[in-house]
Structure 1
Amino acid sequence: MNLSRPARLLLRLALAAGLAVIYVPLAVVLLNSVNADRTFGWPPAGLTLRWWGAAWASSGVREALWTSVRAGLGATAIALVLGTMAAFAVQRHRFFGRQAVSLVIILPIALPGIVTGIALNNAFRTVLEPFGVGLGLFTVVVGHATFCVVTVYNNVLARLRRTGIGLEEASADLGAGPFTTFRLVTFPLIRSALLAGGLLAFALSFDEIIVTTFTAGAGVRTLPIWIFENLFRPNQAPVVNVVAAALIVASLIPVYLAQRLSSDVGTH
Structure 2
Amino acid sequence: MLRLNRGTKVALGAVTVVVLGFLYIPMFVIVMNSFNSGRVSGWPIPGFSLEWWGKALTNPAMHAAFLNSVIVASVATAFALVLGTLAAFALQRFKFFGQNTVNLLIVLPITLPGIVTGVALSNTFHQVLKPMGIHVGYWGMIIAHATFCVVMVFNNVIARLRRMNPNLEEASADLGAGIGQTFRLITFPQFRPAFIAGGLLAFALSFDEIVVTIFTAPPGTETLPLWIMNQMGRPNEVNQVNVVATLMILLSLIPVYFSQRAQRADT
Q: TM-score, normalised by structure 2?
A: 0.95
8 Å contact from structure 1 (residues 76, 201) kept in 2:
yes
Q: 1:30 to 1:181 in 2, by over 3 A?
A: same
1:227 equivalent to 2:228? Answer yes
1:59 equivalent to 2:54? Answer no
Q: What SS class does the counterpart of residue 162 from structure 2 fall into? A: helix
The CA deviation string for residues 133-155 of structure 1, in whole angstroms up to 9 with x for no partner, is 43532011000001000110011
How far the C-alpha of 1:131 sits from its partner, in A, is: 4.4
How far the C-alpha of 1:78 sits from its partner, in A, is: 0.6
* In structure 1, distance between residues paired with 2:9 and 2:97: 49
Aligned to 2:174: 173
1:146 equivalent to 2:147? Answer yes
8 Å contact from structure 1 (residues 148, 201) kept in 2:
yes
The 5 Å alignment of 1:114-153 reads 114-134=115-135, 136-153=137-154
How far the C-alpha of 1:6 sits from its partner, in A, is: 1.4
* In structure 2, distance between residues paired with 1:42 and 1:122: 43
- Counterpart of 1:137, as a letter, is Y
The CA deviation string for residues 70-109 of structure 1, in whole angstroms up to 9 with x for no partner, is 0001100110001000111111111222222111111111
Q: TM-score, normalised by structure 1?
A: 0.95
8 Å contact from structure 1 (residues 168, 181) kept in 2:
yes
8 Å contact from structure 2 (residues 29, 43) kept in 1:
no
The CA deviation string for residues 10-38 of structure 1, in whole angstroms up to 9 with x for no partner, is 11211211111111111111111112222
8 Å contact from structure 1 (residues 80, 149) kept in 2:
yes
Q: What SS class does the counterpart of residue 75 from structure 1 fall into? A: helix
Q: What SS class does the counterpart of residue 51 from structure 1 fall into? A: helix
- Counterpart of 1:225, as a letter, is L
Aligned to 1:264: 265
Aligned to 2:23: 22
Q: What SS class does the counterpart of residue 163 from structure 2 fall into? A: helix
* In structure 2, distance between residues paired with 1:210 and 1:201: 16
Bigger drift between 205-214 and 94-103 goes to 94-103
* In structure 2, distance between residues paired with 1:41 and 1:25: 12
How far the C-alpha of 1:162 sits from its partner, in A, is: 1.7
- Counterpart of 2:28, as a letter, is A
* In structure 1, distance between residues paired with 2:51 and 2:174: 65
How far the C-alpha of 1:203 sits from its partner, in A, is: 0.4
Bigger drift between 204-213 and 250-259 goes to 250-259
Structure 2 runs not aligned, ≥5 long: none
RMSD across aligned C-alpha pairs, in angstroms?
Answer: 1.4
8 Å contact from structure 2 (residues 40, 236) kept in 1:
no
Q: What SS class does the counterpart of residue 40 from structure 2 fall into? A: coil
1:246 equivalent to 2:226? Answer no
* In structure 1, distance between residues paired with 2:101 and 2:134: 32
Q: 1:148 to 1:225 in 2, by over 3 A?
A: same
Q: What SS class does the counterpart of residue 185 from structure 1 fall into? A: helix
Q: What SS class does the counterpart of residue 199 from structure 2 fall into? A: helix
Aligned to 2:8: 7
How far the C-alpha of 1:124 sits from its partner, in A, is: 1.4
Aligned length: 266
How far the C-alpha of 1:123 sits from its partner, in A, is: 1.3
The 4+ residue runs of structure 1 with deviation greater than 6 A are none
